[in-house]
């Protein structure tokens, strides 16, 4: 049982990472990641939606007829997204202004429906919830990393806008990594998102290939089939 | 056979309806408990914005609720009706906060919030929303530059209308090289808003200068064209 949870976690965070392996949900990945805070915030919101939607679909899965499963799933996801949207609007109003239309758009993020359909509709509640949470966390990490890279290269700061989430007191945590930086506009503009994501995918593949090579060198008698 | 199809159809319909009802009920409940905080934070955000362009000491009325409805006007650039917030001090006209839209920015509309004192001088201007190029035209936004403060204390009496242009066009307003279209649009929009105020100030303050709170507005606002 624990090995199953471990596998779900590894799948979500690394092996099947939705941001850099499955490449699902590219719209928010590319559009929102102009800063680390923006990327992480939307990533966390998505992870919450995914955990909640997987957890609420799994217990009712046997009562949903196959013909209408997609409308029912979308209904559940849309309800949860709207709840999160309204909660952020009520309790982190400035952040809501920044993330704007991207929160409602979580509904159409393919990764959410994909996990409900391929995992929660076939598995027990607790593993489903963990799967949603881990897949979402994997995406949130990629969004935060990509946002951090773009912010650092584009503006020379990290975590700017933290006060939008935690109030004006958090302004002191904004790091000016490169003082008197004039900015590199390309990183903030949409092409920067594509270049950044491309680099992340490349780095992830490079690590994966190196690990595979290491493993086959360590155990030369075992033939390892390439997984890609 | 037919019976099973009907049974199956009914089951499908009932399932869909139940999910819809539960979802709707949940949303209605969340909407109800978040409504008050959302309204409060919207109000707070609006007041904080007002405070940037019109000091709290300048008025003593309920700025958020003392409003005048404005019909679409070429001078303000609004295509649907908008509201102006009226500031009064000891029942005397103190100023007005107008929303103006510049349609001729580099990309998309630029929405401005303009505070004008009753003597026709500008108390402050802020950009509400814009889609100008980040790093180039976005210095009109206070978050990215102090340029917008050039308008503080400007007026039509201080600067004649023909000088309400960027320096490149022979006016008095600075701009940054490489992004002229954006400030040009903003300067033009502020000038037009000042002109609007000049033409309509009596109408704007009419309701709030009266002792009786039930005074009604004159039926017709003045025409835009000077």
Q: Using one digit for the tens of pLDDT, what is the confidence trace for B97-122?
A: 999 999 998 888 999 999 999 899 99
Q: Which residue of A has its CA nearest to B30?
A: A83
Beta bridge partners of B166: B173
**B214 to chain A, closest Cα gap in Å:** 35
| Mean of pLDDT over chain B | 85
- Please report, in angstroms and rounded to a whole number, the separation of the first and last CA atoms in chain B: 79
| Angle in degrees, 0-180, between the axes of helices B2-53 and A69-91, rounded to the nearest 10 | 20
Greatest Cα pair distance in chain B? 88
Q: Which residue of B has its CA nearest to A90?
A: B38
Is B224 a residue whose pLDDT tops 60? no
Size of interface A-B (CB pairs under 8 A): 56
Q: Is B30 on the interface with A (CB under 8 A)?
A: yes
Q: Which residues of chain A have pLDDT under 50?
A: none
Q: How confident is the model at residue B215 (pLDDT cuts 50, 70, 90)?
A: very low
Contacts of B44 in chain A (CB under 8 A): 93
Q: Would you call A87 and B34 a contact, using CB atoms and an 8 Å cutoff? A: yes
Q: Residue with structure tokens 């559940």?
A: A76
Q: What per-residue confidence (pLDDT) applies to B217?
A: 46
Q: What per-residue confidence (pLDDT) applies to B196?
A: 93
Average pLDDT over residues B114-139: 87
SS3 for A86?
Answer: helix
Contacts of B23 in chain A (CB under 8 A): 75-76, 78-79
Pick the residue of B17, B30, B45 with the most A CBs within 10 A to test the interface with A by mutation.
B30
Average pLDDT over residues B53-74: 87
Here the tokens at position B57 are: 């000491």
- Burial-class residue B156 by CB neighbours within 10 Å (0-12, 13-18, 19+): middle
Is B220 a residue whose pLDDT tops 60? no
Here the tokens at position A152 are: 């650092």
Q: How far apart are CA A97 and CA A80, in angstroms?
A: 19
Average pLDDT over residues B192-220: 71
Q: Which residue of B has its CA nearest to A87?
A: B34
Pick the residue of A31, A61, A65 with the most B CBs within 10 A to test the interface with B by mutation.
A65
Q: Is B20 on the interface with A (CB under 8 A)?
A: yes
Its pTM stands at: 0.72
SS3 for B125?
Answer: strand
Contacts of B8 in chain A (CB under 8 A): 65
Q: What per-residue confidence (pLDDT) applies to A1?
A: 62
Q: How far apart are CA B197 and CA B203, in angstroms?
A: 9
Is B170 a residue whose pLDDT tops 70? yes
Q: What per-residue confidence (pLDDT) applies to B114?
A: 94
Q: What per-residue confidence (pLDDT) applies to A83?
A: 92
Q: How far apart are CA A172 and CA A166, in angstroms?
A: 11
Asked if residues A115 and A50 have their Cβ atoms less than 8 Å apart, the reply is yes
Interface of A with B in 106-125 (CB under 8 A): none
Q: Would you call A183 and B26 a contact, using CB atoms and an 8 Å cutoff? A: no
Q: How confident is the model at residue B80 (pLDDT cuts 50, 70, 90)?
A: confident
Q: Is B41 on the interface with A (CB under 8 A)?
A: yes
Q: How confident is the model at residue B211 (pLDDT cuts 50, 70, 90)?
A: very low
Contacts of B136 in chain A (CB under 8 A): 185
Is B46 a residue whose pLDDT tops 80? yes
Pick the residue of A34, A75, A79 with the most B CBs within 10 A to test the interface with B by mutation.
A79
Q: What is the sign, positive or negative, of the torsion defined by CA atoms of A104, A106, A108, A113?
A: negative
């Amino acid at each position: 049982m624990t090995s199953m949870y471990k596998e779900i976690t590894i799948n979500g965070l690394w092996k099947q990472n939705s941001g850099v392996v499955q490449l699902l949900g590219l719209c928010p990945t590319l559009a929102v990641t102009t800063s680390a805070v923006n990327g992480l915030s939307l990533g966390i919101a998505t992870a919450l939606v995914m955990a909640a939607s997987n957890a609420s679909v799994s217990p009712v899965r046997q009562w949903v007829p196959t013909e209408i499963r997609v409308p029912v799933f979308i209904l559940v996801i849309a309800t949860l997204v709207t709840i999160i949207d309204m909660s952020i609007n009520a309790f982190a109003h400035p952040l809501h202004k920044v993330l704007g239309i991207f929160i409602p758009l979580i509904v159409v993020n393919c990764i959410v429906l994909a996990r409900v359909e391929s995992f929660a509709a076939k598995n027990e509640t607790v593993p489903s919830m963990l799967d949603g949470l881990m897949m979402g966390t994997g995406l949130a990490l990629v969004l935060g990393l990509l946002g951090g890279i773009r912010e650092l290269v584009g503006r020379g700061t990290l975590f700017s806008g933290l006060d939008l989430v935690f109030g004006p007191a958090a302004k002191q945590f904004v790091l000016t990594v490169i003082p008197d930086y004039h900015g590199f506009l390309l990183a903030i503009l949409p092409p920067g998102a594509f270049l950044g994501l491309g680099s992340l995918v490349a780095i992830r593949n490079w690590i994966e290939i190196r690990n595979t090579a290491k493993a086959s060198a360590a155990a030369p008698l075992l033939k390892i089939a390439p997984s890609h | 056979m037919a019976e099973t199809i009907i049974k199956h159809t009914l089951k499908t319909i009932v399932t869909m309806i139940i999910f819809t009802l539960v979802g709707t009920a949940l949303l209605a409940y969340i909407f109800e408990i978040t409504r008050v905080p959302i309204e409060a934070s919207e109000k707070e955000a609006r007041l904080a914005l007002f405070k940037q362009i019109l000091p709290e000491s300048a008025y003593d009325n309920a700025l958020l609720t003392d409003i005048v409805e404005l019909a679409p006007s070429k001078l303000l650039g609004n295509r649907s009706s908008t509201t102006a917030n009226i500031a009064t001090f000891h029942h005397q006209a103190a100023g007005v906060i107008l929303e103006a839209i510049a349609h001729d920015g580099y990309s998309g509309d630029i929405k401005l919030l303009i505070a004008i004192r009753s003597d026709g001088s500008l108390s402050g201007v802020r950009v509400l929303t814009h889609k100008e190029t980040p790093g180039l035209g976005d210095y009109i936004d206070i978050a990215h530059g102090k340029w917008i403060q050039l308008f503080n204390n400007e007026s039509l009496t201080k600067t004649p209308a023909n000088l309400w242009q960027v320096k490149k066009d022979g006016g008095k307003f600075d701009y940054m090289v490489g992004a002229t279209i954006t400030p040009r649009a903003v300067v033009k929009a502020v000038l037009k808003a000042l002109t609007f105020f000049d033409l309509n100030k009596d109408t704007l303050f009419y309701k709030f200068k009266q002792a009786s709170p039930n005074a009604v507005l004159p039926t017709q606002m003045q025409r835009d064209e000077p």
